[in-house]
Homo-oligomer: A and B are copies of this chain.
Amino acid sequence: MAETLSIAVPPLPWRRIVVGCGMAAIDFVATVDAFPKPDDKIRSKRLKVLGGGNAGNALTCAARLGLTPRLISKVADDTHGGYILAELEADGIDISNVVICNGGTSTFSYVIVDNQMKTRTCIYTPVYPAMVPEDLPRSSLLSALDEAKLVYFDGWLHRTALVIAQQAAEMNIPILIDAETNKSGLNGLLDLASYIICSEKFPQEWTSIPSITYALVSILLRFPHVRFAIATLGEKGCIMLERSIDDEGSDIDETDVENLLESLKMRVDKDNVLPSCVSSECMRLCAPGVGTISGRLLLGTAEIIPSSEIVDTTGAGDAFIGAILYGCLML
């Protein structure tokens, strides 16, 4: 997350504290002419070293947007750990609750960026020894959550994450979960979630329902405390299913949510290269065989960027989450 982010955003009226719990890593990003085949020996002309990890990236974005982020994570006292912490601190992230272990190794991630096919492949080696709840003293936990407006979990460090989420729920702090993949311990976190961001594949994988919109309805029915679920679709943008609070629209006819998505797609201005959002009214949204909820469906588009201008997509999903954190605190 060393690239510069320069978007005009409204100034925040006061200190908005967001806590993030998850992976902080050092990324070695190697650009190659073509993705290697097994047993190849290939040359990378360019190797960039920069901070990474889902929580590290998302909080960096949040900090650059003007939020006050605090990180809960674990690094080792090795060279990489020092690099990770220095970069996060330079971006204004509060790292006082990051556990630093003596000996061991910090999370290391090697990212292969293929210039030809525009892929980014990550091989990560998690922090060793792994983070356990006992690493985080209760005083640190309480000090990290003090005055926090939102707590975000990237799905890593799941045992520690669950302890933090339970404390946050007790303190009525909203919880946002990144459900990128079905990592172990994820269900326990989702039970406490207020907001869910997931990958394109996750709704189908988690519910076994082929339609992404029906799967999102299923997720909102399964977790009645979840206010919205967003599925990211890469260059196709994202879909958001938002539950209405006061059950508006319950008196009108039900709409099939899959048909609704198709009608939203028709309303997208395809000549607009900038990101945009089209939204339905609040209504009864029906997923046949799954159930019905009251709410609205939103379709966000991604900026259309010429491929020559794309450096690489590493951390793009995390930056998206950073922006969602910002959006949640502006609600």
Q: Which residues of A contact B (CB under 8 A)?
A: 28, 30, 32, 35-47, 79, 105, 108, 110, 112, 114, 117, 119-126, 181
Contacts and interface: CB of A to CB of B under 8 A. Distances in A.
B122 A40 contact: yes
Contacts of A32: 123
5 contacts: A36-B123, A38-B121, A42-B124, A44-B124, A46-B125
B123 A30 contact: yes
A43 B108 contact: no
B123 A44 contact: yes
Contacts of A28: 28, 108, 110
A39 B119 contact: yes
A2 to B, nearest CB: 15
Main secondary structure of the interface of A (DSSP, over half): strand
A57 to B, nearest CB: 13
A37 B32 CA distance: 15
B39 A125 contact: no
A122 B37 CA distance: 10
A42 to B, nearest CB: 6
Contact of A39 (B37, B40, B43, B121): B121
A177 to B, nearest CB: 18
Contacts of A38: 35, 114, 117, 119, 121
Question: Top 8 A-B pairs ranked by shortest CB distance?
Answer: A38-B119, A47-B125, A41-B122, A39-B119, A44-B125, A35-B38, A110-B110, A36-B121
A125 B42 contact: no
A122 B32 CA distance: 12
Contacts of A120: 39
A108 B108 CA distance: 14
A120 B79 CA distance: 26
A178 to B, nearest CB: 13
Contacts of A114: 38
Contacts of A40: 121-122
Contacts of A45: 125
A12 to B, nearest CB: 32
Contacts of A123: 30, 32, 36, 42-44, 112
A32 B110 CA distance: 13
Contacts of A42: 122-124
A120 B117 CA distance: 23
Contacts of A117: 38
Q: Which of A30, A42, A110 has the most CB of B within 10 A?
A: A110
A42 B110 CA distance: 10
A119 B36 CA distance: 12
Contacts of A112: 123
A119 B39 CA distance: 5
A122 B36 CA distance: 9
A124 to B, nearest CB: 6
